[in-house]
Amino acid sequence: MKTIHKIAAALLFGTISLPSFALDELNIAYFLEWPSANQVAQLEETFDKRMGLKVNWRSFDNGNAMTAAMLAGDIDIAYSQGFVPFVVGVSKGADLKLIGVAMTYSENDNCVANKSLDITQENAKTKLVGKRIGTPTGNVTHYKLLRMLDHLGVNKDDVRILSMSNADASAAFVRGDVDMGCGFGGALNRMKKEGSLIMTGAEQEAIGLKVFDIVSVTGDFAEKHPDVVRQFMQITEDANLAYNRYPERFYSVLSKASGMELEDTIDTLGKFTFLDKSEQLSTQWMLGGIQKFTKEVADFFVEQGQLPRSLSQEQYDKTIDAGFLAEVR
């Protein structure tokens, strides 16, 4: 019934905003098979206790769906939304705000090529022509793939890019239906067992590819419930600090929270970096770096014909708000 009201409101007024009301439930989006330090707090219901709210954690399998759910008003805070879906969303005029960096993970998102093809960075230019590549679209993986092809001198029209979900890409790669599979998390681990990387995460970072997930909220929610957003950031910061000090203490809890085997959890966590407040509030990240990178990613997608147009640097600057993080103790 609530949904019907929202749709009616959206159709009538072109916006989702309902009259301001006291918040009694908080809906947070997150990824399965994507362990994060604050999931300890998720499992122990720290959020519920400290905020005095009922917190619902809803799992997603791609960041674009998170954007859609936030626009529909069903998600208030997205934790670990991909950076690229955020860029796509705000470029299309979605009212989203980036309020923090969830984790960085250049080694945990990559493309794997079939071993028998023997593709290296040097011969990719000729060997990749006409090959089938399975990848999710409109996300970090897609962006990394396009940037990598660009870097290796491969024209994206010379390869056949098949759009599929993360899990499907790994299934198709393992079956040998695609010559290269791109993905993240558990799917990437499965693919790595069968194939080889063309570029390592570190090498991709060297050509200017930042890979990170973000914390995002709708502009509307940030305006109406700043206290809730601030508390969320505080609890997350506390969890990050605790984890960074003694990561091994949290492995078993996080394995349960993320729905992964203990071994895979440790492996995945090993490739994540959880930045604390002082690291995030630097010119490399929230105070300039991300702003510039947002424009870069959007422009690249426009150049590749994936987005019709990008916004100006000033407009992108407005979508990034370090204010909540700055108030964290």
Binding segment (CB under 8 A) for another protein, from list 42-50, 199-207, 247-255, 306-314: 306-314
**Total interface residues for another protein by CB under 8 A:** 37
Q: Which is nearer to another protein, 13 or 129 (CB)?
A: 13
Q: Which is nearer to another protein, 146 or 257 (CB)?
A: 146
Phi, psi of 282 (to 5 degrees): -130, 170
Q: Which is nearer to another protein, 267 or 299 (CB)?
A: 299
185: left (phi over 0), alpha (psi -120 to 50) or beta: left
CA atoms of 235 and 223, how far apart (whole Å): 20
CA atoms of 165 and 148, how far apart (whole Å): 20
Task: Identify whether the C-beta of residue 28 lies closer than 8 Å to the C-beta of residue 55.
Answer: yes
The reply on whether position 171 binds another protein by CB under 8 A is yes
Q: Nearest-CA neighbor of 209 among 284, 304, 305, 144? A: 144
> Among 178, 209, 215, 217, which residue sits at the site for another protein (rule: CB under 8 A)?
178
Site string for another protein, 123-162 (x = CB under 8 A): -----------x-xxxx-----------------x--x-x
Alpha-helical regions (H) of 55-184:
63-71, 83-91, 124-127, 140-152, 166-175
Within 13 Å, how many C-alpha atoms sit on residue 50's CB side? 17
- Shortest reach from residue 26's CB to another protein, in Å: 24
> Among 168, 179, 220, 321, which residue sits at the site for another protein (rule: CB under 8 A)?
168
Site for another protein in 2-31 (CB under 8 A): 10-15
- Shortest reach from residue 311's CB to another protein, in Å: 14
Length of the chain: 329
Task: Identify whether the C-beta of residue 260 lies closer than 8 Å to the C-beta of residue 35.
Answer: yes
Q: Which is nearer to another protein, 25 or 157 (CB)?
A: 157
Return the bridge partners of 55, or none: 26
Site for another protein in 79-98 (CB under 8 A): 88-89, 92-94
The reply on whether position 64 binds another protein by CB under 8 A is yes
Binding site for another protein (CB under 8 A): 10-15, 62, 64, 67-68, 71, 88-89, 92-94, 134, 136-139, 157, 160, 162-165, 167-168, 171-172, 175, 177-178, 306-308
